[in-house]
């Protein structure tokens, strides 16, 4: 497992830290106003998905590996709804704000 300090991209590091700290305000501060997301290739309402899959269900991730200069990573993700699963994550960043978040089972 990689610690947050080992994540090479500062935006990824901040995102993982916000998720694991259950800090919704910090999470949303990382997003561009018009940020979008997909889960398993399906477009999702970002706010609804994040609230349901991360914050209301105690989401937590342990990063296993990273690629794409740290903006893509594999994680063991768990929440109270689905338990634990291996997931892939990727972000697109513009001017230090996340414009796109993609996740899915790995």
Q: Which domains does the chain have, with CATH numbers?
A: 4-105 (3.10.450.50)
pLDDT band at 105 (very low <50, low <70, confident <90, very high): very high
How much is the pLDDT for 31?
A: 98
Tokens of 89: 């994550």
pLDDT tens, position by position, 19-64: 999 999 999 999 999 999 999 999 999 999 999 999 999 999 999 9
Which whole number is the average pLDDT over 67-85?
A: 97
Which whole number is the average pLDDT over 95-99?
A: 94
């Amino acid at each position: 497992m990689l610690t947050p300090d080992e994540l090479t991209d500062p935006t990824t590091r901040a995102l993982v830290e916000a998720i694991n700290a259950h800090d919704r305000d910090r999470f949303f501060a990382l997003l561009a106003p018009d940020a979008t997301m997909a889960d398993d290739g399906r477009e999702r309402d970002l706010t609804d998905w994040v609230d349901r899959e991360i914050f209301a269900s105690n989401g937590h991730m342990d990063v296993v590996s990273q690629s794409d200069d740290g903006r893509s990573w594999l994680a063991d993700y768990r929440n109270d709804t689905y338990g634990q699963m291996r997931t892939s994550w990727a972000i697109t960043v513009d001017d230090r704000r996340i414009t796109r978040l993609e996740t899915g089972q790995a």
